[in-house]
Every structure is written in C-alpha cells, then in structure tokens.
Amino acid sequence: METLTVTGVSKTFGGPRPAIADLSFTLGGGEFGVVVGPSGAGKTTLLNMIAGLVSPDTGEITLNGGSLAAVVPERRDIAMVFENYALYPHLSVRRNLEFPLRAPVRRGQLSRSQIAARVAEVAETLRIPHLLDRLPSQLSGGQRQRVSLGRALVRRPRLLLLDEPITHLDAKLRHEMRTELKRIQRELGVTTLYATPDQSDALALADLVVVLDAGRAWQVGSAADVYERPANVTVARTLGDPRINLLQGRRDATGVTVLGQRFDAGQGPPGPVTVGIRPGDVELSTQPVLGAVAGRVLLSQTLGYQDVVYVDVAGATVRATAPAGIAARPGSPAWVRLPAARLHVFETATGRALRHREVV
Ligand SMILES: Nc1ncnc2c1ncn2[C@@H]1O[C@H](COP(=O)(O)OP(=O)(O)OP(=O)(O)O)[C@@H](O)[C@H]1O
C-alpha cells in the first residue's frame, strides 16, 4: 500500500493568484483521502499534478518515498476517474474493461487468460458481471460510473484519483455509490484521493480530509478533527449541513458577548470575535425560556425528519434545527438559547480558532 506525500507544492497559471499555494499533506497507505472545496479551489489542479498532467512550480510529490518529478504520467501507475465517464461507446463493457490492459499484453506482461481473470475479478468487486456484454449506451448513469471505476482499477494502480466522480448522479444514487466506493476501496486497499465540492462526501468517506479553498489547505485532519475542531472560519463554513452559524461577538477580559448574551469562553485577547455554533446545537423554543433571547421566525424549511428554522435575532440570522413540525411560522416569535459549551470562538481579524465546542 502506497503512501502519498505532497510537500510545499505550489502552482500558478499566470493569473494573479496561485491555483495551489504551498500545499502539504501525507495520505497513508490504503487510506481514503478527500479534498473538499468550492469550485475553483484548486482540486483538479492538485489531482493533475499528482497524475503528472501538470507540473508543480515548486514542491515535491512522492509515492512511498520515491519522487514522481521525473516519472512521466504513463509510468506513474496512477489511475484517475473523472466526472464524465469517458467510456468507448462502441465497445462492450467487457472490452472497455480490457482496454487499459492492452499495453501490458503487448509487452508480454499479461496473458489472455490473466486478462479475463482480472476483468472477472473487477466486475465481481463492482457487482457488474451481468453487464459485461452491454454497450455503455445500455447502462444507467450509476452503472456507467461503476464501469469507469472498473477501468481505473483493472490496472491495479498504486494510487486512485477520483475527480468529482459522483457529483452529477441524482441524490439517491450518489448516496448508494458513495457507500459502494467506500466498500470497494476498503476491499482493494488502494490508496485513494477523492476531490469533491460536497462536504458530506468528506465526512462520510474520509480517513483524511484536506479542506482546500483558494489554493490553500486550511486544515488537514480526520473527519472528526475538521468537523469538531475547525482550525479557522473557512473550515467551519465548509463542513456541516445546514451550515454553522457565524455570529459577530466581542471578547473582553471576562468572556464573550454574542446576541446580547455573555459567556465564559476562556482567556484570550480582547476584541471582535466570530462565534460559531452548529444549527443542531442551538436550542430553539416557541415559548419564552429562561436565558434565551427573543427573535422572530424568518423561514422554516423541512428536511422530513427535522426542520431548519431561520430566526432573526436583533438583526442577525440564526439557523436552528428543530423536531419536524415545530410550529415555527414565518413572523411568529421564537426564543433562541446558545449553550456555552457548544460555542466555537474565532478571532475575527484572522479567522483563527480560539476555542472549540466541547465534545460530549
Ligand atoms: N490550465 C489552466 N490555465 C489557467 N488557469 C487555470 C488552469 N487550470 C486551472 N486554472 C485556474 O486555477 C484555479 C483552480 O482551478 P481547478 O480547476 O483546479 O479548481 P477546482 O477546485 O477543481 O474547481 P471545479 O470544482 O470547478 O473543477 C482556478 O482559478 C482556475 O481558473
């Protein structure tokens, strides 16, 4: 199993801002890494540099300690799967799966029967043996995605790169494919780096999350690290759905004031702070409650199993989750309490975390 290291890698394409700026992380052998960030964050550029399609300006990329700098893409043994499947439309699924093995066959490294065995094995792993004689046009989107994954895996790559492979699938299929990807990756033990704009992919799949925005890694850590202990506002904003509330507050010698409430929030320099609280941690009531501040419901959105209620509190919008069917109609009064133990505090000037929510 191959360990991937990226050390001090930068790339500028000629624009004013680097596409990737001084990026470093280590993905352990057999791990599932997820690079999460918005469009334009630099995800594809990073994957392209690892695959050898784009050269970094500075820095080093290694696989199991060996530098890839002098290795041409064809010799890197790295497979990349893109959002569009790029299957050969005139070839059956079986022929599509055999295609990447043509070079090893020509070089005499693989026999015909070995190819058949490899294809059968990959088809089994991907649960597509019944589709082998179909053409790509006779497959559903999810099935095509499995075949394109199969084509990447049949070569037994040292590293698997996935660039938004399931973003375009419908929500139900995306969920199913995500579970499948995790299973397949675990079964094969192939070191995998997956790029996505979808934070739920990161939380569901990753052994290691790289939060990328504007070419910078804002935090590298486990899913629990980046979710529970976001190092800065960018990370806090990236992970979690519905999004974390970020409220303007002030810190003085004795605590933090936010929404007119005071909290003992540890020691630190006085000044403006940004207080983060996840919608699930906000206590919402349609009745007055001791210690809660009064507001007015702006909007209530149901997710089926729960509602997300947007409340205006003194000009700030607070998102809170609540049991489905809570009587929170737009315009009606609501009371919001922020439990002190659930607050993240960030320095407003830098975005840096000063204090994290307590994990129970
Ligand atoms: N070949 C190129 N020439 C010039 N600029 C480029 C090139 N490739 C990428 N960029 C720029 O680098 C930045 C990062 O782009 P990149 O495609 O890596 O982002 P991304 O996170 O993959 O976005 P998306 O999710 O939209 O694919 C963008 O500002 C983009 O315009």
312 DSSP β-pair partners: 296, 317
Give the CATH number of the domain where residue 14 resides: 3.40.50.300
Residue-wise pLDDT for 260-276, tens only, equals: 888 887 667 889 999 99
Asked whether residue 280 falls in the same domain as residue 302, the answer is yes
Please say whether the beta carbons of 336 and 316 come within 8 A.
no
Asked whether residue 116 falls in the same domain as residue 247, the answer is no
**Looking at the 3D structure of the chain, how many domains does it have?**
2
Whole-model pTM: value is: 0.91
Question: What's the CA-to-centroid distance between 43 and ligand 1, angstroms?
Answer: 8
Provide the domain limits for residue 249. 243-355
Per-residue pLDDT at 318: 97
Ligand 1: residues with CB < 6 A are 13, 15, 19, 37, 39-45, 197
In a domain, 167, yes or no: yes
Asked whether residue 222 falls in the same domain as residue 161, the answer is yes
Asked whether residue 18 falls in the same domain as residue 106, the answer is yes
Q: How many residues does the chain have?
A: 360
Asked whether residue 95 falls in the same domain as residue 180, the answer is yes
Helix, strand, or coil (residue 100): helix
Residue with CA nearest ligand 1 atom 29? 40
Residue with CA nearest ligand 1 atom 25? 39
Asked whether residue 11 falls in the same domain as residue 68, the answer is yes
Asked whether residue 226 falls in the same domain as residue 293, the answer is no
CA–CA dist 34, 197 (Å, integer)? 10
Neighbours of 91 (CB within 10 A): 14
Question: What's the CA-to-centroid distance between 34 and ligand 1, angstroms?
Answer: 18
Asked whether residue 296 falls in the same domain as residue 153, the answer is no
Per-residue pLDDT at 348: 95
Residue-wise pLDDT for 171-181, tens only, equals: 888 888 888 88
Residue with CA nearest ligand 1 atom 12? 19
Residue-wise pLDDT for 130-174, tens only, equals: 999 999 999 988 888 889 989 999 988 999 999 987 777 778 888
CA–CA dist 360, 347 (Å, integer)? 24
Question: What's the CA-to-centroid distance between 125 and ligand 1, angstroms?
Answer: 33
62 DSSP β-pair partners: 5, 67
Domain end (from 214, 237, 260): 237
Asked whether residue 220 falls in the same domain as residue 163, the answer is yes
Domain end (from 199, 218, 237): 237
Give the alpha-carbon dihedral of 252, 257, 263, 265, to 10 degrees: -50
Per-residue pLDDT at 317: 96
In a domain, 24, yes or no: yes
In a domain, 343, yes or no: yes
Give the CATH number of the domain where residue 252 resides: 2.40.50.140
Asked whether residue 180 falls in the same domain as residue 251, the answer is no
Asked whether residue 83 falls in the same domain as residue 216, the answer is yes
**Top-confidence range, 3-12, 249-258, 304-313, 320-329:** 3-12
In a domain, 29, yes or no: yes
Contacts 24+ apart (CB under 8 A), 116-121: 118/154, 118/156, 119/94, 119/154
Asked whether residue 121 falls in the same domain as residue 254, the answer is no
In a domain, 317, yes or no: yes
In a domain, 360, yes or no: no
* pLDDT at 301 > cutoff 80: yes
Question: What's the CA-to-centroid distance between 23 and ligand 1, angstroms?
Answer: 15
**Span 340-354, average pLDDT:** 94
